[in-house]
Amino acid sequence: MTIPALQGLRVLEIGNLVAAPSAGRILADFGAEVIKLESLDGDPLREWGRPSPTGSSWWWHMQSRNKRLISVDLKTQEGRKLVHQLAQKCDVLIENLRPGRLNSWGLGYADLVEGNPGIIYVSISGYGLTGPYQDRPGFGHIAESMGGIRYVTGFPDMPPVRTGVSLGDEVAALQAVIGALMALYRRQVDPEHKGDYVDVALTESVLALTEAMLPEYLQEGVVQERTGNQLLRAAPSNIYPTQDGRWLAIGANSSKTFKSLMTLMDKPELAEEGGYATNTDRVAHVNQLDALISNWTTQRPLDKLLAQLHDAGVPAGAVMDARDIAEDPQFKAREMVVHVPGPGETKVGMTGVVPKLLHHGGHIHHAGGNIGEDTKDVLSHLLQLSEDEMKELERAGIIRG
């Protein structure tokens, strides 16, 4: 097996639910030693969604894969002291607790950087560490609303809708990983530069996805509205019903692919005239164009449409549910549907590693396990605590192992 890209990196994850743990999962996938800190009761994500036979959710088992799990009570002075000592031996700390919580416990950036000047401290919060909203608690769905995504998602005659996943948290996790890796690179190449403080706001992570929405308003006063499944600035790009009750995504918004689609539909003349010759024309007449394509797709089953469109070089794909994805040969070939060792002798199915690296790729060694299963091993190895010391901490309710 090749050496993972992040082997040798040690990360302390102090976070719950989605954003910080997703960032930790990505780093762990690529070989970082990620020490996940839970309360004595465990991360609330253990109770989100359908439970596995262990009692923890299936989502938990994926979210905490490859991590070392420790359980320490940060509400105690002794617990905070242990975590402070652990942070001194880590390259990166990622947290998404309520703003100011770690500072109040003596575990803020200023508290840790004195003894560990090279630490990369990543804070994920609703609004960031400055500004009038900095002290407010934040959640992904609020960030999606305030960051603009919710307003433009859905159909024009219906209320705004969510995307079906924790989009705000997941994109914040990506920004956290990007920020941590940028800071680590600067620390490596610049001897004068030590660590850094990475400030990730959920709202800003969402806003960064909104493409031309803000520039068009700032320059022209245009407020982007909901357009359903249509791509606002290019056409045709939509999902279309099929004869067998499925849905098919077609993206034929370049001149070449549009001409190929019209030829396949026995209407090649529409690529040159009829108000569809240019992308601007097609966007202006998008409703008529989508109706035309829908009339064609509803007369054919999904599989036949896909074969015809692929042969014609027109980008297309089925709208797939979890069953479709699990059975799809492309996802299987790319190891995006995997089963990995879980607690005991079990195997846990989950999504694979992204992205793929040719020489230093990621790997899933095991699913997330039980609360505090690595506490004693981590404290013994990194802090040289004796077995008697750990037993005393466990009796006092400071750790769980």
Distance CA 367, CA 68 (A): 11
DSSP string, 261-323: HHHHTT-GGGGTSTT-SSHHHHHHTHHHHHHHHHHHHTTS-HHHHHHHHHHHT--EEE---HH
Q: Which two tokens stand for residue 11?
A: 């990360």
Choice among 29, 43, 169, 290 that is catalytic: 169
Strands of the sheet with 237-241, listed across from one edge: 237-241, 247-251, 316-318
Strand partners, 72: 399
Report which of 297, 290, 287 is spatially closest to residue 245, judged by C-alpha positions: 297
What secondary structure letter does DSSP report for 360? T
Q: What is the number of other CB atoms lying within 10 angstroms of the CB of residue 214?
A: 12
Cβ-in-10-Å burial (0-12, 13-18, 19+) of 130 comes to: exposed
Bridge-based pairing of strands 120-125 and 10-14 is: unpaired
Distance CA 11, CA 81 (A): 17
Q: Which two tokens stand for residue 385?
A: 């605590």
Identify whether 135 is a catalytic site residue: no
Contact 207, 200 (CB under 8 A): no
Q: Which contacts qualify for 374-381: CB closer than 8 Å, 24 or more apart?
A: 374/35, 374/68, 374/69, 374/70, 375/69, 375/70, 375/71, 375/72, 375/399, 375/400, 375/401, 376/401, 377/68, 378/35, 378/68, 378/70, 378/86, 379/70, 379/82
Bridge-based pairing of strands 247-251 and 237-241 is: antiparallel
393 in helix, strand or coil? helix
Report which of 43, 49, 288 is spatially closest to residue 165, judged by C-alpha positions: 49
Strands of the sheet with 68-72, listed across from one edge: 196-201, 120-125, 92-95, 10-14, 33-38, 68-72, 399-400
Query: Catalytic residue positions?
Result: 169
